Amino acid sequence: MNLMNRQWLLARRPDGPLSNDNFEYRELELQVPQLQPGEILVQSLLFRCTPAMRTMMKANSQFMPPMTVGEPVVGSASARVIQSANPDYPVGCIVSALTGWQDYVVLDANKMPPVRKPDDVSLEDFEGILGGNSVTAYFGLLKIGEPQPGDTVVVSGAAGSTGSIAAQIARVKQHRVIGIAGGEEKCAWLRNECRLDAVIDYKSEDVEQRLGELCPDGVNVYFDNVGGATLDAVIENMAPFGRIALCGQISSYDEGNALAQGPKNMMRVIYWRLKLQGFLGFDYPDEMEHALSELRQWHSNGEIVTRLAIHDGFAELPTTYRRLFDGSHFGTLLLRNDQADT
């Protein structure tokens, strides 16, 4: 079988804010080989735009190997199995897989088993409430933040995919929750739909000063998605023995090869006996099933709302992806493959 495979390649590494010139479009005829036992051929349906991909475009990518210039951009998607030599992944099932920015790819599903979408879960919920960002929020808040009764929890990137879930879990657990986000529309959603106790618009307000007003007794738990100046502002307002769950540092990703810088005021960390800890969303495999079941229940009860920003058209992938860094998307950022049946 021959298939026309559209691809977006990393054409050159960005040495400043990402532009569409960093990517190159290509169409290739894919001659699908005879699948080896364990292999599957998948068609990408919904491309996931994740901030971590931006760090992998840098030559000094730390956690995952850097992307290769001239190769398809590395990223994951929901994808449909269209040929299979693996009984665990029959034709027609939908998986979450590392497809890269292309229509089709052959994967060895034994080597790196993709997560299969349960039949009773919609594609939207698979990407939203049951997606990787939701479990990241769940474990980061509850395992690293360890909020205690009466605690005040602050979340940055609060209107985003991960942040909005972390903030709402804190509310479900009856903590006082303050979200930090950019712009009135996002702040209004956090106030009205996510029902947070207070919201700070970092684009128009002084975060350090507002936190001082809102939290005279200090912040007990901070779920940090952005780092940089916001992290500094929250540290100035932490309560003694506060916990900071370091989820991400997005404020520094869309820069050259600079690595994210640490907080300015380390003496405050010492004197206030603060704990800062990084974590990854898949650190708790044994508790994943329980986390997913709680998330699903809170979502179906209406206790947690989700929002997806689904853009259309493979041609728009670079432009859509860049929205992560100017905040001009609202919700879990996805791009629908216009040539696939979703």
In whole angstroms, how close is the CB of 111 to ligand NAP at the nearest point?
22
* Binding flag, residue 182, ligand NAP (CB under 6 A): yes
* Binding flag, residue 161, ligand NAP (CB under 6 A): yes
In whole angstroms, how close is the CB of 119 to ligand NAP at the nearest point?
26
Quote the tokens at residue 289.
């099933």
In whole angstroms, how close is the CB of 163 to ligand NAP at the nearest point?
5
Site string for ligand NAP, 124-143 (x = CB under 6 A): ---------x--x-------
Window 208-227: residues binding ligand NAP (CB under 6 A): 225-226
User: Sign of the C-alpha dihedral, residues 194, 138, 73, 34?
Assistant: negative
Phi and psi of 71, rounded to 5°?
Answer: -110, 160
* Binding flag, residue 163, ligand NAP (CB under 6 A): yes
Amino acid in the structure at residue 239? A
Closest CB to ligand NAP among residues 133, 152: 133
b/e per residue, 316-341, with b = 16+ CB within 10 A? ebbebbbebbebebbbbbbbbbeebe
Closest CB to ligand NAP among residues 122, 204: 204
**CB contact at 8 A, 336 and 312:** yes
The DSSP bridge partners found for residue 201 are 181
* Binding flag, residue 181, ligand NAP (CB under 6 A): yes
In whole angstroms, how close is the CB of 30 to ligand NAP at the nearest point?
29
* Binding flag, residue 324, ligand NAP (CB under 6 A): yes
Window 233-262: residues binding ligand NAP (CB under 6 A): 247-251
Number of amino acids touching ligand NAP (CB under 6 A): 30
* Binding flag, residue 76, ligand NAP (CB under 6 A): no
Phi and psi of 242, rounded to 5°?
Answer: -70, 155
User: What is the β-pairing status of strands 23-31 and 332-336?
Assistant: unpaired
Q: Which of 133, 157, 288 is nearest to 223 (CA)?
A: 157
Residue with tokens 């044994």: 286
Give the number of other Cβ atoms within 10 Å of residue 313's Cβ.
Answer: 13
Q: Which of 256, 249, 264, 317 is nearest to 75 (CA)?
A: 317
* Binding flag, residue 109, ligand NAP (CB under 6 A): no
Contact residues for ligand NAP, defined by CB under 6 A = 50-52, 133, 136, 157, 159-163, 181-183, 186, 225-226, 247-251, 279-281, 324-325, 327, 329, 333
